[in-house]
Amino acid sequence: MEWLLVPFEVSFVQRALVAGVLVSVVCAVVGTWVVLRGMAFIGDAMSHGMLPGVAVASLTGVNLLIGAAVSAGVMALGVTALGRSRRLSEDTTIGLLFVGMLASGVIIVSHSRSFAVDLTGFLFGDVLAVGSADLVGLAITLVVVAAVALLGHRSFTALTFDVRKGHTLGLRPRLANAVLLALVTLTIVASFRVVGTLLVFGLLIAPAAAALFWSRRITTIMLVAALLGVVATVGGLLVSWHWDTAAGATIAAGAVGLFFLSAALSFARQHFRSPTLEIERSR
């Protein structure tokens, strides 16, 4: 048991664990709606579309969170505005904005001498360098996300499953869509500096997608997704400590691994249940 406990006796690993748990819960709440609505592509686009703002902020000495927020806001407004066009599909507009923002960011960052370091930090973050201020920021984000998700639950449900009924009940699906997009933006902006865009996107999508194999109730999906995110965080930190791997990338890989494990177990469960059901029906 020593190999399991020793890493978490170190203060910076403890802070990394708390940060991972907070990000896992936030991403479980928001990620459930992202997966149910099929917004994975827009989540990826938002996470990487922040690069221009982060690059400009880094080069000018401005707080990175401000640059990320501005860039993410531009991305969100672009998706909303272009999404109203009837000539282009939503995924086409998102793809164009994604490529344009990412390319712009790389061009800006390429002028910096620390190009490789900046880009690596943007993608993978540094979860082992989390400070107390970062934890406070993540805790505040969790409170805001939980409150908005609770208040907007009915509207988000209508937006996901029956937009027409949502209009009939006065739940304003368009506003709900804008708020949901804002939640995705807040989650990514608040978390990327700590854990990087790769880990944020991994925890946003993989645990929620894995939870779908075990439940069909929205609240249960969120709970299972949060649990899987925490498992990925703990496992990733352990592997990172003992095998000297990148902590953020290892956690993200663990989250994706849990998705494939859930898919395999679900397939096996259905496969072995089928003969039993056929035997019972034959009786």
Query: What are 179-193's pLDDT values in tens digits?
Result: 998 999 899 988 887
- Phi first, then psi: give them for residue 53, nearest 5 degrees: -65, -40
With CA atoms as reference, report the closest residue to 192 among 245, 83, 107, 119: 119
CATH topology of domain 1-265: ABC transporter involved in vitamin B12 uptake, BtuC (1.10.3470)
What are the Cα distances from residue 214, in Å, to 6, 160, 218, 265?
Answer: 33, 19, 11, 10
Alpha helices in 50-131 (DSSP H): 51-60, 64-82, 90-109, 115-124
What is the model's pLDDT at position 249? 86
- pTM equals 0.87
Q: What share of the chain is helix, strand, coil (3-state, %, to 5)?
A: 85, 0, 15
With CA atoms as reference, report the closest residue to 141 among 87, 191, 102, 210: 191
Indicate the DSSP class of residue 75. Answer: H
Delimit the domains of the chain by residue range.
1-265
3-state SS class at 240: helix
Query: What are 56-110's pLDDT values in tens digits?
Result: 887 888 888 888 889 988 888 887 777 677 777 777 888 888 889 888 888 887 7
